[in-house]
Amino acid sequence: MTDHVSTHQAEEDARNAALLFHLNGRIVPRAEAVVSIYDSGFMLGDGVWEGVRLYNGRWTFLDEHMERLFEAAKAIDLEIGLTPDQVKQAIFDLQAANGMQTDAHARLMVTRGVKTRPFQHPALSQQGPTVAIIMEHSRPRIPRPITLATVPHLRGLPMTQDPKLNSHSKLNCILACIAAQKAGADEALMLDVHGFVNTTNACNFFIVKKGEVWTSTGDYCMNGITRRKVIELCRANGIPVFERNFSLVDTYSADEAFLTGTFGAQTPVGVIDGRQIGTGQMGPMTERLRGLYKQLVGA
């Protein structure tokens, strides 16, 4: 469990303790990187976010992350108050202030800002958005195969809270994570509303069966940029890849399984619901895709 947590979180080392942060146009030390208890993000989870990764001087797929951020903001009628280029410049400025060149992760958060009263109506947020960026050193490592447990918490319908939104309101996924931890697993495997395998609480999910790579249809899953890149890599390299509905029966008999995400790239899965997947180790397809992805991002 500890190894998995360290793989999915920036390392808590001396360099991170002394880092600077971006808050509403200012670069500040950790002690000053604070928001009001009236902030919409703190009070109601009213906001959107992105995570981006730095490899060898380049923020990977940054334009695509900006596109996803601004699409999410528009969907919840949140005016960021900055252009995509201005947001990118804020990331570059913070990178320079922290002296980072590679192996870093940034979390960009935008909320509806400080409210005048502790109620949910958006009109009570009158001071403009809160924009914050956390940036931490994080060295990639070869991840060990992790364990998953299927939980009763489902990926929701688009008309309730669209799973494609990177929103601050993550309680459904947090409850799924808690259920998985209580079952002794690293992460939760979540089904969609029809009972098909969908994602984990934090990452997109893939299986490998007889040389084919399968992932969910995308109807109920996170709009993962790394997920999209893996699908594109498969197609570009002659690997059969399918976005389809599949069940737990299909999953238990898979030759391999892995997760995708900005932070962890591709993480192998060794056990699901007590059942060993393949050899229980990183499989050849997962290893191949990790290699192709490293070439793509210049890692």
Q: What is the enclosing helix (H) or strand (E) of 91?
A: helix 84-98
Both tokens assigned to 159: 């008309």
Q: What is the enclosing helix (H) or strand (E) of 248?
A: helix 248-252
> What is the DSSP annotation of 24-68?
TTEEEEGGG----TTBHHHHH--EEEEEEEEETTEETTHHHHHHH
- Burial class of residue 71, CB neighbours in 10 A (0-12, 13-18, 19+): middle
Question: What is the C-alpha to C-alpha distance for residues 131 and 34, in angstroms, rounded to an integer?
Answer: 11
Both tokens assigned to 199: 């994602």
Question: What is the C-alpha to C-alpha distance for residues 294 and 162, in angstroms, rounded to an integer?
Answer: 30
Contacts within 8 Å (CB) and 24+ apart, 60-67? 60/262, 60/297, 61/225, 61/229, 62/88, 62/91, 64/225, 65/108, 65/225
The set of catalytic residues is 170
Residue keyed to tokens 């949910």: 120
